[in-house]
A = this chain, B = another copy of it.
Amino acid sequence: MPKEVEAYDRYLQEHHETHLQELFEFLRIPSVSALSEHKDDVRRGAEWVAAQMKKVGLNRAEIIPTAGHPLVYGEWLERPGQPTVLVYGHYDVQPVDPLELWETPPFEPQVRDGQLYARGSSDDKGQVFMHLKAVEALLAVDGSLPLNFKFLIEGEEEIGGEHLDQFIRENHELLKSDVLVISDTTMFDRGLPALCTGLRGLAVMEVRLEGPSTDLHSGLFGGAVQNPIHALAELVAGLHRPDGSVAVEGFYDRARPAAEAEKASLAALPFSDEEFRQEVGAPALFGEAGYSTLERLWTRPTLEVNGIGGGFQGEGTKTVIPSGAFAKITCRLVPDQDPEEIVTLVEAHLMKRCPAGVRLHVRRMQGGKPTLVSPDHPAVTAAANALTEAFGVRPAFIRMGGSIPVVQTFQDELKVPVVLLGFSLPDEKFHAPNEHFDLGNYQSGLRTLCRYWPELASWRPEA
């Protein structure tokens, strides 16, 4: 282990308490982006980040107003010729209700059993803070950083705000960088850090069937007209085959099969179907035949009806044939599926099968492409090495079944590779009551970053 690395660890050790107090300050700000009554708190969150950027030694830190909540941009660019890292994160947090389920108040951070409890502790303030403190440690010990850094920390991640996308589109030069690093994903499990090499994309649509011009009395009209609920059930049922696969023609045509090496690596992960089943509480697991649960979750596309509605849904009975019914559908996509094309295929499938007596309307909504990062990319390899040193175990290469739409925007606009290097655990209750962050992982994560940046310094990205 090089001498400097021990020095970073020592610096972090010595400042651990001070840093925790600073993180507490950050976590006390209720920067709930979804609620307008917290607008000023969100602003305070941005100000805190900008001040902290200056404090750790970045030489530019500014709050950038948007039509919504502000962005915070910071940079340290004093190593011309060296690669530039863009760190993305967010300082806004999810709402806290139901408040009564929190064991301690969400904005009064508390450490219990080595876990830091507070809204935003793991998603994502804690991880943003780690990036700032790693920079602080390197600067304190070396008086310099081994790479150039740009930080872009937003305040609308939890509301899917589009102001960041616009900002990225309009600021290619400012954000130009060689690698994008995001710490907003999870480790595979306690004791097993992970690098995420793939995110599923998303195709979004709403389907509406219309039959009679108004709701009809099911006694007076039942038997004479098509019931839009029946027609919708038929259409929805026809979207899957009994073996769990998606029945839409062409749906899998562009779905790139996982490489044998990745399949082997997923199979080697410590994952139990039965434990997973108990966790979700379903009587049985179910999905596309011929694939393991992790393969289905990460490497295979899905089609899910997220909501269905029609007719009378109150208590008791109302004998009605509704004039319409609807279903909200999303597909999770894998490379090289395209959201636009998938919606077109699903729409064609439905149109072809639409029963007589109803009209079908499809509304397309904004989706996102899938992301895949090569596990052999030098920036990923360096991160894997740093994780191995800091956690004492080689990281798992995993994917995530979900989508981070802004990743696709960064990739489309900046053509930059992304490293998804997250330190939270899957059960740390982000978006839920009693969100927490393991302080052991916080410390190992800091050590990871202090090993990652020096190692990455020797990388020479292709022009």
Please report A residues at the B interface, Cβ cutoff 8 Å. Answer: 200, 202, 204, 211-214, 216-227, 229-230, 232-240, 276, 280-288, 293, 296-297, 300, 302, 304-313, 316-323, 325-328, 330, 332, 355-359, 365, 400-403
**Given contacts A300-B223, A308-B325, A214 and B281 within 8 Å (CB-CB):** yes
The 7 A-B residue pairs with the shortest CB-CB distance, nearest first, are A213-B281, A219-B402, A233-B236, A307-B311, A223-B296, A286-B357, A226-B286
Bound Cα distance from A202 to B237, whole angstroms: 27
Choice from B212, B218, B302 contacting A304 with Cβ under 8 Å: B218
Decide if B403 touches A219 in the complex (CB within 8 Å): yes
A357, B236: Cβ atoms closer than 8 Å: no
A219 touches B305 (CB 8 A): no
Label chain A's interface by main secondary structure: mixed
With A236-B229, A237-B237, A312-B306 already in contact, the answer to whether A280 and B218 are too (CB < 8 A) is no
B320:A313 contact, CB within 8 angstroms: no
A212 pairs with B280, CB closer than 8 A:
yes
A309 touches B308 (CB 8 A): yes
Knowing A218-B332, A286-B357, A401-B221 touch, does A317 contact B365 (C-beta < 8 A)? yes
Q: Please give the distance in Å from A268's CB to the nearest CB on chain B.
A: 19
Given A222-B297, A283-B358, A309-B313, output 19 extra A-B contacts at Cβ < 8 Å: A212-B281, A214-B281, A217-B402, A219-B332, A221-B280, A222-B302, A224-B293, A224-B297, A225-B287, A229-B236, A233-B237, A284-B356, A306-B311, A307-B318, A308-B308, A308-B310, A308-B325, A313-B328, A319-B330
Q: Are B311 and A328 in contact (CB under 8 A)?
A: yes
* Chain B residue at minimum C-beta to C-beta distance from A225: B282
A356 to B289 CA separation, bound complex (whole angstroms): 13
Which of A239, A306, A323: most chain B Cβ within 10 A? A306
* Alpha-carbon distance A310/B305, docked complex (angstroms): 9
Least distance between A331 CB and chain B CB atoms (Å): 9
Give the complex CA separation of A285 and B239 in angstroms: 25
How far is A309 from B308 in the complex, measured between Cα atoms in Å? 5
Q: Given A213-B280, A280-B213, A305-B311, A200 and B219 touching (CB < 8 A)?
A: yes
Residues of B within 8 A of A227 (CB): 304-305
Residues of B contacting A213 with CB < 8 Å? Answer: 280-282
Task: Give A16 to B23 CA distance when docked, in angstroms.
Answer: 87
Interface contact A224-B276, CB-CB below 8 Å: yes
What residues of B have a CB within 8 angstroms of the CB of A219 in the complex?
Answer: 200, 202, 332, 400-403
- Contact between B222 and A304 (Cβ–Cβ < 8 Å)? yes
Chain B: CB-nearest residue to A204: B317
Residue pair A317, B297 in contact (C-beta under 8 Å)? no
Q: Which residue of chain B has the shortest Cβ distance to A325 in the bound complex?
A: B308
Q: With the chains together, A214 CA to B358 CA distance in Å?
A: 33
CB <8 Å contact, B356 and A286:
yes
- The answer, among B306, B318, B320, B400, for a CB contact under 8 Å with A220, is B400
Q: Which of B216, B226, B308, B313 contacts A233 (CB 8 A)?
A: B308
Contact B306 A218 (CB under 8 A): yes
Are A317 and B309 closer than 8 Å at their CB atoms? no
Give CA–CA (A359, B282) in the complex, Å: 9
Bound-state CA distance A305–B229 (Å) is 7
A302 and B323 alpha carbons, distance in the complex (Å): 17
Write 23 A-B pairs (CB below 8 A) sorted by A numbering: A214-B281, A219-B332, A219-B400, A220-B401, A222-B401, A223-B401, A224-B276, A224-B285, A224-B297, A229-B306, A229-B307, A229-B327, A230-B240, A230-B304, A233-B237, A234-B237, A237-B237, A283-B358, A284-B356, A285-B357, A304-B319, A307-B313, A308-B325
A311: B residues at CB distance < 8 A:
305-308, 328
Whether A286 contacts B225 in the complex (CB less than 8 A), given A218-B332, A309-B308, A320-B306, comes out as: yes
Q: Given contacts A202-B319, A211-B282, A230-B240, is CB(A297)–CB(B223) below 8 Å?
A: yes
